[in-house]
Structure formats: structure tokens, C-alpha cells
Structure 1
């Protein structure tokens, strides 16, 4: 399953979500431009929905055209050309795409496959230099499916605090965790490290095409008080704000979607992940890592057992051409 949970038509939003947009269509105010950062009442609804992240006010919320737009805003505001941001390896490719166009360098820190893809803290700290503008933390992980414990998130915050580096928290898969695991927003654990949390309704509500996301500013020590807040506000004018049609539906979407819907989707995802894991682990030459959440599974290919292929890229290309199974090569070395 890829990043679009709606591809095969077997996962659909509940009627409460669909009805919210039907109702929005009838509103005159859903057809007009809105404030660049989003309507006040909508930001209030997001602030309430995201209260698990720590103290959040409507002024801390900036609505965006999907989580990808939120990520772009966070990277653009925090880093200048010539600086670098630290991104997990394996990680989400959009960070490289966005940064290269802005003259921002990407530096990678390793995740540990034999420890459920937690951050290699020593490697993370070694990558930090005087040009590091931010650390990207993807939790739950795309593409590893890992969910970090409270203790591990605290360790990451300790590294950021010692080096005075802010965090971009990519949390589009928040709450999408399998049984036996617990999600914690890294911002809820931070006392001094400022965090820009990027999220939205794409994954959890199964509506990626509606392009509704947000950046939430967490800044207990007021380090972002002037330049970063002003920068984010100024950047909202570039697209004249996100869709007002979906904005007007958003409070109802966030408030009326039943917990039973989320439970059923998670149960389905976890059952599919277990099914795939059990099948793949029996195939010689493949070693899957059972995900703890999200919609992804990383699989090690023992290339020595496939001498006809020169690289993992050739392997996944043949998989696609012969079996119509699409995989993204991980480009991660696992000893």
C-alpha cells in the first residue's frame, strides 16, 4: 500500500466527512478567498483537535494546502540557501526535492533496522554542524512504519536541545498506530526545543485529494516569536490560502468523525500488515520488518541470493514488470 490509501477503493471516509463537504458546498462563504493562514473558526477547531500536541492556540495554527505544503513552508522558513537540514535515512523523498530547489543541503542521519528503525542518536548528533537549520523527525514513519516511544523522543529532544537546533515534526500519520504501540507528539514532550508540527487530514481521514493540512507552532521559550511566525504568515500569501470549500467543512470533519471509523481503519491496516509480514518472512532472501503503524513496510533484500540482479533497483524493476508489484528501493545498507 502506498501513500494514497484510496487507490483501490477499499478504504473510504465515513459519511460524516462526506456530508461535511456537501454542506460546505451550499455556503456562499465557502466560495470566497479566505485569510492566508485560514479562517479563525477553522484554526480554532484544529487547535482543539491538536491539543494532544501541547498547548495550542488558534494563533499557533496555519492552514496549508496539504501536509506537503506544510512541510515546504516549515523548511523554507527555517533554512536559508547554504544551510542544511537533517533528514532520516530511510525517509520521505519530498525533503530532498524541496530543499534542492531552495539551495538547502540535505544531510542524512541513520535509522536502525534491527531496533524497529529508531534514530541512531550518535549519528544524528554527528551530522549537526554550524549550518544545520533543523532536524526532521518523521513519526510515525514514512517509509519504515515505526512509532517512537516517549523515551526515544526524549532522547532526540536532548540532542536537539544540546545543539540548539529546532525540529520539524512530520506527523501526518499521527494516531495511526498498531496495537501494543502508543503515539506521542514530540512537541508535547519538549520544554525548550521549538517544534513546527506538520499534519493534516490526508491519511487518517482518507481524503488525500482534498489537500488540507496545517503547520502548528510549538515554542514555549518564544524562540520563534518574531521571525519564524512572521515568515510563516508572510508565506501564506503565496497561494492565497488553502481551499475554503474544505476549510468550511473541516470543523465538522474533526469533531463529528466517530472513533469507530478510526478503529476499523486501523484494524484493517494492521491485519493487512500482519498478513504481508507473515507471507514475506517465509520467502528466502527477503527480511521484512513488521511495522508499528502508518501504511508502509521496509523489506531487506539479501542480494547475494539474487545474483542475476546487479542492484536492488533492478530487482524492484523486474518485480514491477513481471508481477505488477510496485516498490520503492530503500537505498539503505543493512549489515
Structure 2
């Protein structure tokens, strides 16, 4: 008699996370065969030789004897005060330690906050493209993602009129990712003010994923959302993973701002869910004060001559030299989102392209459709490799796209002959 099949949750069939999905598994198989891969699928600074700043490492080492016990479910008091002080400097209204939640990375806090907010069938307005964890967490907490489009022809910036048109009686929140993953768009103040007005009119929670807030290039600026939201409830997310290159420490935070009376029930719900998971990683919390109020270690990496800036320059130059690619130059974050155009785009499928690139050129990228867009002619790369490696990657990409263009031209010629 065979063992019974263990069934899984049905809604998992709606969830996608190709960043660590089928293509990444195939890359590991090829590595096991002795093939060297260039992986541009994950924004993981430590995998490319970046280190968390030394003063953050020292802060943890100096307090390692204090890290054995559980802490408060919302985080260490000193860490929460450091986060609140940082947000008060930004002008965040009612930023206090009592309204700060420390989690095992922003990822956990996204899931926790949506679990605190949503009833079955409730809707969340998400950008398209989005970071797919937002869609997954909405679905797995019995909500419904509703996408507002951020088109490349608009610089990947959203249209506030479309956002408002999507609001329904079931809408509970508007999510913004700024600077954006995967596109690198940085949202201007005037646009954010219009989105705040929509949230105020329809009594919606604002959820601002600002994990890349200090990763900016050229003359781009970052405008935090909470100061513009005023008394409107706003949940702002940040952490150590990207700006401070400490992904493995799993330290993120969420700050609930606005009128405390308007978000009291939501605050208590988040506190309850935080208590159910006991507490977040304790050692990493001792680095928060040093990260937010110590030496700036990211600006030099994003300035001309800095490694991130020069990797971005390598992407921009490579796309400009390509016969098959176009790019909205990223203003911030750690990614670029090129689009395939021209003959190579005819019949193009981003997943098939990514698989061919992996199998024939040993380069791993993420198909653009993984970020919940309706088109299939984009892909995402990280800006973390050395600039020379980035240029080599795009040389290999061009070879694959040359083959796509040749096949498309041959198909078109065959069709013309058949029609003659």
C-alpha cells in the first residue's frame, strides 16, 4: 500500500518567485557539472565580495554576550530608538520606539503586516513590475493583488489617475517600492504627493518599501513617503541588507507613522503577530544604531568611480552599444531592467531567453515577467558584479540575441515565401 500524498495549499499555485526558482535550480545543476556561472539573479552583495561595514561588525562583536536571551517582540529598545530617531530626522510624524517593529529582514515584516491587515478577498494595489514577494505575501494572506502599471515609456513611474481608478470597496492599501526593484526608478515628490492624496481620500494604508533609500546615482534624490503622509497611516520599511550590505544578518524594520488613534488596532495586530514568532534575530539588532547614525559607507560606492556606479555605467554603455536592447537608466537601487527590441523581440519569450542564456552562455538572469508584468521582453540583472564582469555578461547576452534575431529573420523570410 502506497503512502498517502501530502497535499499542499492550493493558493501556492498562484505564487511565483523566479529569482530563486527553476532557473536558479538549473544553474546549480550546471555548477555541479563543473561549469562556472555568472549569477545576476539575486541582489546579494556578500556573494560579490561586498562586506558589511567594519563598525557594524564591531557593534555586534562588542555585544555578543548580550545576545542569548529573547528580546521584546518589537525589537531591542535601543535599536527601536535609533530607528525612530532616524525617522524623526527625516520628518516622519509620530515616529517613536513604540511604533517601530524589527523583523528578520523586510521580507518577514511584509508578510506580517499584510497578515495583520487583510481579510479574505481584500485588495492591495501593487506596482507592475513589483518585487514578487509583495504579490506572494498578498496572495498567501488571502488577499488579491491589483496592479497599477509602471511603463518603460513613462520611466517606470506610475500614473496616479490609474491608481485611483483601481481603488474599489475592497482596497486596503497602496504599496510603493522606492527606489524601485526591479527598475531602479526613483519617485519624485510631486508624484508621491498625488498618491498620498489618493490614500487619504479613500482611507487606505500606505506601505513604503524603502530598503534601497540611500542607493542613488547621479543627481537622483530620495523622498521618504511618511513625511508627506502626515497624519495618514503609513508603514515605512528599511533594513541592513542592501545599503549596509548585510543580507545574511536578517535585520529589517517597519515604522508605523501618522495619527496613532487611526492605526491603533493595526499596531496591536502587528504586535500580536510579532509576539507569536517570539522575536527577531538579536545579534544583528546591535548594529542598527551604528548603521543609521554612524559613518556613511554607501555614498562612495554610488558616486563616479565607485563600484556600483561603474557597474551601472557598464550596463548603460553595453545597452547603448547593443543592436537589440533598450534601457531606462536606473536612478537607484541595485538593478537594471533592459528591454529587448527590434527583430530580436519578434516572438521573444523572456523565460526561454533566460534558459538559453544559462545553458549556452552560463549567465543567470531573471525573466521580466517574474515581476508581474504583462509583457515578456524584459529581464533583470543586478549591478553587483565587477564592471568588467558586467561587460562580459552583456557580450554573452548580445550573442544570444543575435541568434534570436537571425531566427526571427529566417522565420519572417519563410513566411513571405510561403505567402508569395
The interval holding the TM-score normalised by the smaller chain is: over 0.9
Q: Counterparts of 1:102 and 1:12 in 2: how far apart (Å)?
A: 35
Partner of 2:322, secondary structure, is coil
Equivalent position to 1:243, from 264, 281, 303: 281
Structure-2 change in CA distance of 1:37 and 1:221 (3 Å): closer
The residue that corresponds to 2:344 in the other structure is 305
Q: Is the 8 A contact 2:103 2:251 kept in 1?
A: yes
**Runs of 4+ more than 2 Å apart:** 248-256, 302-307, 331-335
Q: Is the 8 A contact 2:84 2:97 kept in 1?
A: yes
Q: Is the 8 A contact 2:173 2:207 kept in 1?
A: yes
1:171 positional shift = 0.7
The residue that corresponds to 1:264 in the other structure is 300
Q: Does 1:54 align with 2:96?
A: no
The residue that corresponds to 2:81 in the other structure is 44
Structure-2 change in CA distance of 1:53 and 1:316 (3 Å): farther
Number of matched residues?
Answer: 328
Q: Is the 8 A contact 1:24 1:246 kept in 2?
A: no
Structure-2 change in CA distance of 1:306 and 1:63 (3 Å): closer
1:86 positional shift = 1.0
Unaligned runs of 5+ in 1: none
More moved, 206-215 vs 66-75: 66-75
Q: Counterparts of 2:359 and 2:258 in 1: how far apart (Å)?
A: 49
Structure-2 change in CA distance of 1:70 and 1:53 (3 Å): farther
Q: Does 1:132 align with 2:176?
A: no
The residue that corresponds to 2:223 in the other structure is 184
Q: How does 1:203-242 map to 2 (within 5 A)?
A: 203-220=242-259, 222-224=261-263, 226-242=264-280
Q: Does 1:253 align with 2:291?
A: yes
Unaligned runs of 5+ in 2: 1-39, 378-420
Q: Does 1:34 align with 2:71?
A: yes
The residue that corresponds to 2:161 in the other structure is 122
1:54 positional shift = 1.0
Q: Counterparts of 1:242 and 1:181 in 2: how far apart (Å)?
A: 33
Q: Does 1:6 align with 2:46?
A: yes
Q: Which has the higher helix share?
A: 2
Q: Counterparts of 2:252 and 2:91 in 1: how far apart (Å)?
A: 15
Q: Is the 8 A contact 1:23 1:249 kept in 2?
A: no
Partner of 1:314, secondary structure, is helix
Q: How does 1:184-203 map to 2 (within 5 A)?
A: 184-203=223-242
Q: Counterparts of 2:244 and 2:130 in 1: how far apart (Å)?
A: 23
Q: Counterparts of 1:3 and 1:53 in 2: how far apart (Å)?
A: 29
The residue that corresponds to 2:7 in the other structure is none
Q: Counterparts of 1:166 and 1:250 in 2: how far apart (Å)?
A: 26
Q: Counterparts of 2:260 and 2:136 in 1: how far apart (Å)?
A: 31
Structure-2 change in CA distance of 1:50 and 1:192 (3 Å): closer
RMSD of aligned Cα (Å): 1.9
1:237 positional shift = 1.1
1:8 positional shift = 1.6
Q: Is the 8 A contact 2:210 2:238 kept in 1?
A: yes
